[in-house]
Amino acid sequence: MGYPRRVVATRDPWLSAAEQMRARGMRWTPQRRLVIDVLARSSGHVAASDVIEQCRRADPLTTPSTVYRTLDALETLGLIQHGHAADGHEEYHVLPQSEHGHRYCTNCGGSWEIDAKEAAELTRSMRDRQGFEVDLSHLTIVGRCAECA
């Protein structure tokens, strides 16, 4: 699974989301606008449950299925990238600049990104030895950080 190429040409990538969706035959709805408004105020990583909660504060009729469908559409556009937290829950990286994995410390709760360069030895080994191509955005390593070890 490759990292989606971003086709955003504006300074504010969220401004072109409606046009990009329409160009791909997707519907543009007030609920999708609400999800985008929530994500535009976010940075880094956000859980889908948090997006749902924030949308429901603005519109109590927001359904989880609408939020998830919109998140899927936005991932197709490259505006978000989903991955998994240490506990396995899905989370989304808002406006990702590059594909990356994550490290989580079970002791202090710290988290750090793993970029492609840092993961190169592991991913190369898996490709060379097993023919397995790693989707770095789904790589999550759980353990203890240097300070806690």
Query: Domain map of the chain by residue range?
Result: 13-94, 100-143
For the domain with range 100-143, which CATH number is right: 2.60.40.420, 3.40.50.2030, 3.30.1490.190, 3.30.420.40? 3.30.1490.190
Topology of the domain comprising 13-94 = Arc Repressor Mutant, subunit A (1.10.10)
- What share of the chain in percent tops pLDDT 90? 52
pLDDT at 11: 57
Taking 70 as the pLDDT cut, the residues of the chain under it are 1-11
- The interaxial angle of helices 48-58 and 30-40, nearest 10 deg, is 120
Q: What is the dihedral of CA 76, 37, 64, 79, to 10 degrees?
A: 20
pLDDT at 12: 77
